[in-house]
Chain A
Amino acid sequence: MVALASWGRLGSWQHEVTQLHREKGLAQVLADSAPGIAYGMGRSYGDVCLNPGGAAWKTRGLNCFIHFDPASGVLECESGVLLQEIQALTVPQGWMLPVTPGTQFVTLGGAVANDVHGKNHHAMGSFGDHLQQLTLVRSDGQVIHCGPDLEPSWFAATVGGMGLTGVISRVTLALRPVLGPCLDVESVPYANLDEFFELADDSERDWEYTVSWIDCLARKSRRGIFYRANHSSESSCVARRRQGMRVPLTPPISLVNRFSLRPFNALYYHLKKSRAGLSREHYQPFFYPLDSITDWNRMYGPNGFYQYQCVLPPEQRKDGIEAILSEIACSNTGSFLAVLKTFGQREALGMLSFPCPGVTLALDFPNRGATTLALMSRLDRIVAAAGGRLYAAKDACMSRDLFTSGYPGIAGFAAFRDPGISSALSRRLLGS
């Protein structure tokens, strides 16, 4: 048994770990050790990748590229390949992942299973929108090839299916052409939510990437910094130094706390406000700001942290976000990494995909036990009342009711589950 944790570090649990090293014979490994769950880089925050006391199938060994066509940008590879490896290989050849989450240290399989999104949702949708084919290995030995036009219902169940339909062993995806690694970025400070929504709506047409940092502790204002970016036609910009910083050990208490957070947020706001305007940036610091700090999740101390990400439908967006932010500001807890962003008017193709039209807010809370859980359940009520949903890849404690009401696709999902696959999250939210 080996102790495994997820990125939130809320605890570590013993797992019977099996390393998956090649596709051949994979079904037998699953059959021998089921029930289990695929575990990639452990970058999801809650319990979607955990199966305490049971089997975890580590997919990182499935890390071979299979084929890349530099003329069409179509890439086929095994599911344990990292997004970072794909970017490093293809950007110099003029191709890039069309959708990328906030870290490149996730496996391809994890990106599919959580149908991750990026800052360009309004332009490019989510990760699943760019897949051509998946290979799914089931614990009963069945191997299913699926894609948008091939077994489309298996495809819809697997994209965003949290690894519960089988182990994804192989992925074919279409990359997007880019002229180089640079982005033209503009940062614009905003003072309240009206300004944010105006900026977001106005930017959707002319800017591919939009995202904002919001100061979730400012009591009166809803200030923040809005970032928007497009791929640049210029090809010279400085990549990040290879060796970034590292959090060398877990501090005895969370460094993110009520004493540090308010001044930190104020400082960040004023610093960024004073430097607002246009600039040219390498894609790495823009897409993956935290990847330069290795083990940044240790900053939250030995108790770890919860990540909370919700999406609220367009008609509720302003009142809902206002209610959530007021609740957080009153609680004196909250996060430095509060991200507010609008999603485009498009539904994701996965039955259980998170992205949908509306506005999404992501925050992290240092784990302070019952206080934090109580705050999140107050937030849950606001999200439920607004008809929103929470992101399962980040979640560790939502109720089954909120999951069921947020994801209408759940009704059809059961038929596609692999009975030999179970995770802490699936038992919590799906009952098995």
Chain B
Amino acid sequence: MELKNIVIIGATSSIAQHCARHWLAKPCCVLLVGRSEERLARVADDLRVRSPQSEISFATLDFLDPLAVESLVRNAVTPSSIDLALIAHGDLPDQEQVQRDLAGCRDALALNAISPALFAEALVCKMEQTGGGQLVVIGSVAGDRGRKSNYIYGSAKALLDRYVQGLQHRFSGSAITVTLVKPGPTSTPMTAHLGDAGPGLAPVESVAQCIVQGVGKGKLVIYAPGKWALIMMVIRHLPRFIFNKLDI
């Protein structure tokens, strides 16, 4: 039997790692892509123990270099086809700091918005050539409405929202499905510095489970956990004169 081909960009992210554990419950052929070889090796070793029959490899590159992204997807990715690709990388900057530091602001926007879009473009191009596949992009509830405490991160995620919308439009009725995941605040290394918000964070295991279930059903938008769909609907619809008075 041919193994399912999976590509995970930002594979050392906690959410990606937990999704991979679910997907690899059945043997798969997986390419893990990240920025740090040492961290990728840790994730790869873990997955090898959990799924000894899977074929697991990893690759590192500069996430903002379009040529590197293109050549990785063209060459390193399994020659046959990509059944499932997850784009999971991101970094939550300190909002106040990036308001003052424009270079940091640029980097945050580039890493959270431009880089995932580059990977997505290269991946769907490959999927188009090989006859289909499922692309999953991790956005955020922060992209649903801008607010003062994280709008630089949020606006980058909002770009992904519109971007995925465009891809969904482009590939409607084709064999390519594109899914946007919007996790609520999740307990991961990215949110570790939030400290006080600790109890409000969802465990990464349940967020990953929610994503894997939604992806399995071929959903186009997944809020994880599901309650965020309701919360964000309320937040999106709050009149501005009320919303702008809220300290959130």
Q: Which one of A19, A24, A66, A70 contacts B192 once the chains associate, using CB atoms below 8 Å? A: A19
**A314: CB under 8 A from chain B?**
no
**B239: CB under 8 A from chain A?**
no
Q: Decide if A2 touches B196 in the complex (CB within 8 Å).
A: yes
Q: A57 to nearest B CB, angstroms?
A: 11
Once A1-B196, A3-B199, A70-B52 are accepted as A-B contacts, the answer to whether A21 and B43 lie under 8 Å apart by CB is no
Q: A66 to nearest B CB, angstroms?
A: 6
Q: Decide if B189 touches A65 in the complex (CB within 8 Å).
A: no
Q: B223 to nearest A CB, angstroms?
A: 23
| Bound-complex Cα distance A17 to B193 (A) | 10
Q: Decide if B43 touches A64 in the complex (CB within 8 Å).
A: yes
Q: Decide if B189 touches A21 in the complex (CB within 8 Å).
A: yes
Cβ contacts under 8 Å, B14 to chain A: 21, 61
| Bound-complex Cα distance A3 to B14 (A) | 24
Q: Which one of A17, A61, A67 contacts B198 once the chains associate, using CB atoms below 8 Å? A: A17
1/0 contact trace for A2-39 toward B, CB 8 Å?
11000000000000111101101000000000000000
Q: A382 to nearest B CB, angstroms?
A: 41
Cβ contacts under 8 Å, A22 to chain B: 39, 42, 189
**B103: CB under 8 A from chain A?**
no
**B2: CB under 8 A from chain A?**
no
**A68: CB under 8 A from chain B?**
yes
**B195: CB under 8 A from chain A?**
yes
Which B residues between 105 and 133 are near A, CB-CB below 8 angstroms?
Answer: none
Q: Decide if A24 touches B38 in the complex (CB within 8 Å).
A: yes
Cβ contacts under 8 Å, B148 to chain A: none
1/0 contact trace for B35-72 toward A, CB 8 Å?
00011001101100110100000000000000000000
Q: Decide if B49 touches A89 in the complex (CB within 8 Å).
A: yes
Q: Decide if B198 touches A65 in the complex (CB within 8 Å).
A: no
Cβ contacts under 8 Å, A2 to chain B: 195-196, 198-199
Q: B39 to nearest A CB, angstroms?
A: 7
Q: B199 to nearest A CB, angstroms?
A: 6
1/0 contact trace for A270-283 toward B, CB 8 Å?
00000000000000
Q: B227 to nearest A CB, angstroms?
A: 17
Once A65-B45, A66-B49, A89-B50 are accepted as A-B contacts, the answer to whether A17 and B189 lie under 8 Å apart by CB is no
Which A residues between 291 and 339 are near B, CB-CB below 8 angstroms?
Answer: none
Q: Which one of A1, A3, A61, A64 contacts B45 once the chains associate, using CB atoms below 8 Å? A: A64
Cβ contacts under 8 Å, B140 to chain A: none
Cβ contacts under 8 Å, A19 to chain B: 187, 189, 192
Q: A80 to nearest B CB, angstroms?
A: 12
| Bound-complex Cα distance A18 to B199 (A) | 13
| Bound-complex Cα distance A420 to B198 (A) | 24
Cβ contacts under 8 Å, A18 to chain B: 192
Which of A18, A65, A66, A70 has the most chain B CB atoms closer than 10 A to its own CB? A65
1/0 contact trace for B71-108 toward A, CB 8 Å?
00000000000000000000000000000000000000
| Bound-complex Cα distance A22 to B41 (A) | 12
Q: A294 to nearest B CB, angstroms?
A: 13
Q: A42 to nearest B CB, angstroms?
A: 13
Cβ contacts under 8 Å, B49 to chain A: 65-68, 77, 89
Q: Decide if B199 touches A65 in the complex (CB within 8 Å).
A: no
Q: Which one of B46, B52, B195, B198 contacts A64 once the chains associate, using CB atoms below 8 Å? A: B46
| Bound-complex Cα distance A191 to B189 (A) | 55
Cβ contacts under 8 Å, A65 to chain B: 45-46, 49-50
Q: Which one of B45, B196, B198, B199 contacts A66 once the chains associate, using CB atoms below 8 Å? A: B45
1/0 contact trace for B179-210 toward A, CB 8 Å?
00000000111001001101100000000000
Which A residues between 50 and 98 are near B, CB-CB below 8 angstroms?
Answer: 61, 64-68, 70, 77, 89
Cβ contacts under 8 Å, A89 to chain B: 49-50
Q: Which residue of A lies closest to B189 (CB)?
A: A21
| Bound-complex Cα distance A64 to B45 (A) | 8
| Bound-complex Cα distance A22 to B45 (A) | 14
Q: Decide if B195 touches A61 in the complex (CB within 8 Å).
A: no
Once A22-B39, A67-B49 are accepted as A-B contacts, the answer to whether A61 and B189 lie under 8 Å apart by CB is yes
| Bound-complex Cα distance A408 to B186 (A) | 45
Q: A157 to nearest B CB, angstroms?
A: 28
Cβ contacts under 8 Å, B43 to chain A: 64
Q: Which one of B52, B192, B195 contacts A21 once the chains associate, using CB atoms below 8 Å? A: B192
Q: A390 to nearest B CB, angstroms?
A: 32
| Bound-complex Cα distance A77 to B196 (A) | 30
Which of A2, A64, A68, A89 has the most chain B CB atoms closer than 10 A to its own CB? A64
| Bound-complex Cα distance A261 to B139 (A) | 52
Once A19-B189, A21-B189, A89-B49 are accepted as A-B contacts, the answer to whether A64 and B42 lie under 8 Å apart by CB is yes
Given contacts A2-B196, A77-B49, 5 further A-B contacts (CB under 8 A): A2-B199, A3-B199, A19-B192, A65-B46, A65-B50
Chain B contacts to A: CB under 8 angstroms: 14, 38-39, 42-43, 45-46, 49-50, 52, 187-189, 192, 195-196, 198-199
**When A and B form their complex, which 9 residue pairs have the shortest distance between CB atoms, in order from nearest?**
A65-B49, A64-B46, A2-B198, A21-B189, A68-B49, A19-B192, A65-B46, A66-B45, A64-B42
Chain A contacts to B: CB under 8 angstroms: 1-3, 16-19, 21-22, 24, 61, 64-68, 70, 77, 89
Q: List 15 A-B contacts (CB under 8 A).
A: A1-B195, A1-B196, A2-B198, A2-B199, A3-B199, A21-B14, A22-B39, A22-B42, A24-B38, A64-B42, A64-B45, A65-B49, A65-B50, A68-B52, A89-B49
